[in-house]
Amino acid sequence: MTTVNLTMAIVLGGLYSAGFYLLMQRSLMRILLGIVIIGHGANLMLQLAGGPPGRPAMVGEAAPENMADPFPQAMALTAIVITFALTTFLLALAYRSWVLLGHDEVQDDVEDRRIRRMERRLAESEDDTESEATQ
Amino acid sequence: MTERDHRPEPAAEDSDSWTEWDVPAERWLLSGYCRDQRERTVLLELAARIVFPTVIVFSLYLLFAGHDHPGGGFSGGLVAGQAFVLRHLAGGRLDDSSTLSMRPPVLIGVGLTIAVLTGFAPLLFGEVVLESDIYKFTLPVLGQIKLVTNLFLDIGVYLLLLGVVLDLLRTLGSGIEANAAAARREQS
Amino acid sequence: MTLLVALPILLPLAAAGLSLAFGRFADVQRVLGMVVLGVLIVDSAVLLYVADTFGPVVLQVGNWPAPFGITLVADRLAVLLLLVSSVVTFAVLLYSIGQRITDYGRGASSTTFHPIYLVLCAGVSLAYLSGDLFNLFVAFEIMLSSSYVLINRRATATRIRAGMTYTIVSLTSSLLFITVIALVYAATGTVNLADLAQRVAELPDGLQTALGLIVLIVFGVKSAMVPLHFWLPDSYPNAPAPITAVFAGLLTKVGIYAMIRTQTLVFAHNESWRLMLAIALITMIVGALGALAQNDINRMLSFLLVSHIGYMLFGLGVYDTAGLTGVILYVIHHITVQATLFLVSGLITRHTGTVALSRMGGLAKASPLIAVLFALPALSLAGIPPFSGFVAKLALLQAGVEAGTWSAYAVTGGAVLTSLLTLYAMARIWTRVFWGRVRKPEADPDPEDELVVGTGTTARAMVISTGLLVTVSVAIAVAAGPLAEISGRAAADLMRHETYSTVVLGGDP
């Protein structure tokens, strides 16, 4: 079982909490930054899962048992690529939203609001939806 | 008004030949016509011009070195993409000298197809999907060559990545710039 | 033999590449897509026969041995779901071509739809077949990134809003997925599922539970289990019908599949799983009640989708062979039926020009064909006897009663109630849409985009593909006997996973 040193644990905690804080904002740009930061956190964690840093990585530099575990590095590389691609996609989405709406805020669901309104109306007059249904 | 209208008029036929004798045979600035003067940096354009082939060669080195050294199709393709990014930064969307004749989606498609078909190839030799083999042989001039068959997969990945970067430049770079320019024109 | 396992992943990928390369020839793209998905159906049918007769087929990609390389495993469960999924993707592609959402606007054909759709299919196949946790993550990402593109395609303001919610929520759960992979690797030093099955069992109990719960949350978000379901009814209804159909049919089920696989193989439980039973009950009830409040037909179906995810969680919560048999039957039934219902909703919208139930009416008279196509899957979803839903629900309820604990009884009761509520919701759609005064179709709100609505007609390819899925759903009911037997064998495999580990790790149990 691999364990992490304290500094790295604190760094990880910082990255995750900052990321999740940003994720809860309204602006898509901030959410995007949040996702990037959590992504860095997750990839750092993958790296650390392979054992302590500082061991040689290239073939031939040391005996196989003294070398860094290549597996988490391969996984981290793949994960970094995926996060990178999706970040680009979100950026494009933010731009598109900015072009269409003039801002990049994540909005509430319109239909939810309509249903809530309907409910309020229903409370006001019982037969309102009845007449709507038979119209 | 098309973007080509920005091109300077070709030199008049009857210009004195002595003014031309020290004109460089090649264009050193990227596209030979100007974008907005304020956005232009000659230094960057010149640097891009010099660095571009070097970066492409380096990306090819990475592609071939990839088997047991740092590199591979992925990083090679990204580096080659960076060369085009540099051109884009220098020349902007008006730099049409960097456009390939192939459209980026086609490049992506060809790369993906090559990569996947390479995966199937070992089946022809009775081996497992995506298995790779190493051949060593000697060529007259080049000396001993070590050919790893997943090089072809790497070539596919290289093309795919290059296509992706070019497509990003086309849509998120030039596309957005063109939209902004259109919006400015509408306002004025 | 092992080629059969690689084909469902590599073939769509190669086809996607070719499809992009031939982007200018719309007909080539169409034929290529249909042929490849057709081959996939045949391939998975053969694979099902092989896996059922001779046991799991394992492909060690590139001949790298098991715990180190990429392993693809085709066991009964994976192949069964692969077969159903490929039938659905085939039908939905036909429908999309018929509805012309593959195009870009009314005039031009789009180069991107087919390649992305094929990549989605490859991702789904990889998710079913992958034999390690990290590959499962990659499969999810392949699948989800193509789904982001599909849901945000031709982005209008509403679609962007919906797509944003979907993208952000899925991305967050993917990041959690990476995190849990890192944790699992740090704890055990492997990500191969068969290897994990042995190594995780040696970990301290608390750590096992913690890892199991994070994995549960990751797949819970992807499969929309309450309380992690909120993104689904918000985003799915805004995509065009066939896209919603394939998302509703496949993406959530892949989440369920991953949940079943990890919770039986890696984080095995010894007895019925109380937490899961409770979640199942809440999911069923919340989803069904949510559906009744809706006026938008697609949102209603989306809430019903959430509610019926509860049934699958129920079987997993019972956690015995009978329960898992029920889950497998239910997943098979639900993939086809839910996809069909969304396709029919697309037909209805095309005919009436609206998604609001309160503005439709008299469709039974105007188009009896749509009425028939809706009635069969609707009754099946509610679990009325001769249809596939009945078989699956019966298996689940039986498992719940046989489990014999009070929590299982409670959830069984909840399942019956949800069934009634589903029937009520379906009856509501039926009375609003098909009965009543015949109304004139509403005008197309966006005459520019590729989605033609409010024509008062149907398109032949759309009807044929919907009919194909309805037939499959009926066939599932007819073939219930053999299907239940295979599902039973698949469930038995899940409960004693030594076979899986032995086959994957190469005779070293």
pLDDT score of B2: 40
Show residues of chain C in contact with A48, CB under 8 Å. Answer: 182, 186
Query: For testing the chain A interface, which of C178, C238, C432 should be mutated: the one with the most A CBs within 10 Å?
Result: C178
Q: How far apart are CA C194 and CA C268, in angstroms?
A: 12
Do A115 and A95 sit in the same domain of this protein? no
With CA atoms as reference, the chain B residue closest to C20 would be B109
| One domain for residues A81 and A116 | no
Chains that touch A (3 or more CB pairs under 8 A): B, C
Torsion (CA) A83, A88, A93, A94 in degrees, nearest 10? 100
In angstroms, the CA C237 to CA C231 distance is 11
3-state DSSP assignment of residue A120: helix
From start to end of C98-203, where are the E strands? 103-104, 108-109
Cβ distance B129 to C112 less than 8 Å, yes or no, reads: no
Q: Does C152 touch chain B (CB under 8 A)?
A: no
Question: Rounded CA gap, C113 and B130, in Å?
Answer: 28
> What integer pLDDT is reported at residue C222 of this predicted model?
92
Does the distance separating the beta carbons of A90 and C185 come in below 8 Å? Answer: no
Q: Give the structural domain span for A131.
A: 109-135
Q: What percent of chain C has pLDDT over 90?
A: 54
Q: Which of A49, A114, A135 sits opposite C182 (nearest CB)?
A: A49
Chain C interface, mutation test: which of B116, B120, B133, B157, most C Cβ atoms within 10 Å?
B116
Q: What does chain C come to in residues? A: 509
Average pLDDT over residues C344-363: 86
- Binary contact (B168, A99; C-beta < 8 A): no
AA identity, residue C498: E
Give the pLDDT mean for C294-301: 90
- Which of C163, C94, C79 is CA-nearest to residue C128? C79
Most C-contacting residue of A40, A75, A120 (CB-CB within 10 A), to test interface: A75
Answer yes or no: do A128 and A83 share one domain.
Answer: no
Interchain pair C62, B130: CB under 8 A = yes
Which residues in chain B have Cβ-Cβ distances shorter than 8 Å to C17? 108-116
Kindly state whether C17 is in contact with chain B, defined as any CB-CB distance less than 8 angstroms. yes
Query: Rounded to a whole number, what is the distance in Å from the CA of B150 to chain C's nearest CA?
Result: 10
Regions of chain B with pLDDT less than 70: 1-39, 92-101
Q: Which chains touch B (3 or more CB pairs under 8 A)?
A: A, C
Residue A45 shares a structural domain with residue A95? yes
Mark whether A61 and A95 lie in a shared domain. Answer: yes
Asked if residue A91 and residue A50 are part of one domain, the reply reads yes
Q: What is the pLDDT of residue A133?
A: 47
Q: Which residues of C touch A82 (CB under 8 A)?
A: 138, 141, 145, 174
Q: Does C74 touch chain B (CB under 8 A)?
A: no
**Per residue in C498-509, pLDDT tens?**
888 888 887 543
- B chain contacts of residue A91, beta-carbon cutoff 8 Å: 172
Number of Cα atoms under 13 Å in the Cβ half of residue C304: 31
Beta strands in C23-132 (DSSP E): 57-60, 71-74, 103-104, 108-109
Rounded CA-CA distance C152/C145 in Å is 11
Share of chain C above pLDDT 70, in %: 98
Q: Taking CB atoms and an 8 Å limit, are C186 and A2 in contact across chains? A: yes
CB-closest option in A41, A93, A109 to C234: A109
Same domain, A123 and A93: no
Give the count of domains, chain C: 1
Q: Say yes or no for a CB contact (<8 Å) between B68 and A59.
A: yes
pLDDT tens profile C150-185 = 888 776 777 788 888 899 999 999 999 999 999 999
Q: Is C22 in Cβ contact with B109 (below 8 Å)?
A: yes
Interatomic CA distance for residues C13 and C41, integer angstroms: 16
Residue A1 maps to a domain:
no
Is there a single domain that holds both residue A28 and residue A82?
yes
The CATH number assigned to the domain holding A41 equals 1.10.287
Could you count the other beta carbons within 10 Å of the beta carbon of residue B22? 6
Gyration radius (Cα) of chain C, Å = 22
Residue A134: inside a domain, yes or no? yes
Contact present, B118 and B152 (Cβ < 8 Å):
yes
Sequence-distant (6+) residues with CB within 8 A of C385 are none
Strands in C259-335 per DSSP E: none
So what's the ipTM on this one? 0.86
Which residues in chain A are closer than 8 Å to B171, comparing Cβ atoms?
Answer: 92
Distance separating alpha carbons of residues B139 and B179, to the nearest angstrom: 53
Chain A neighbors of B168, CB-CB under 8 A: 88
pLDDT value at C70 more than 80: yes
**Is the same domain home to A93 and A135?**
no
**Phi and psi angles of residue B31, each rounded to the nearest 5 degrees, phi first:** -115, 0
Mark whether A85 and A25 lie in a shared domain: yes
Q: Mean pLDDT throughout C284-305?
A: 92
Query: Which residues form the domain of C484?
Result: 2-505
Could B172 and A88 be called an inter-chain contact, meaning their C-beta atoms sit closer than 8 Å? Answer: yes
Note the pLDDT tens digit of each residue in C443-472: 777 776 777 777 777 788 889 999 999 999
Query: How many structural domains comprise chain A?
Result: 2
The answer to whether residues C299 and C51 touch, using CB atoms and an 8 Å cutoff, is no
One domain for residues A83 and A123 = no
Searching chain A, which residue's CA lies closest to the CA of residue B70? A58
pLDDT in tens, chain A (135 residues): 677 789 999 999 999 999 999 999 888 889 999 999 999 999 999 988 887 777 887 777 778 778 888 888 889 989 998 998 898 888 888 888 888 877 777 777 777 777 777 777 777 765 544 444 444
Q: Which chains touch C (3 or more CB pairs under 8 A)?
A: A, B
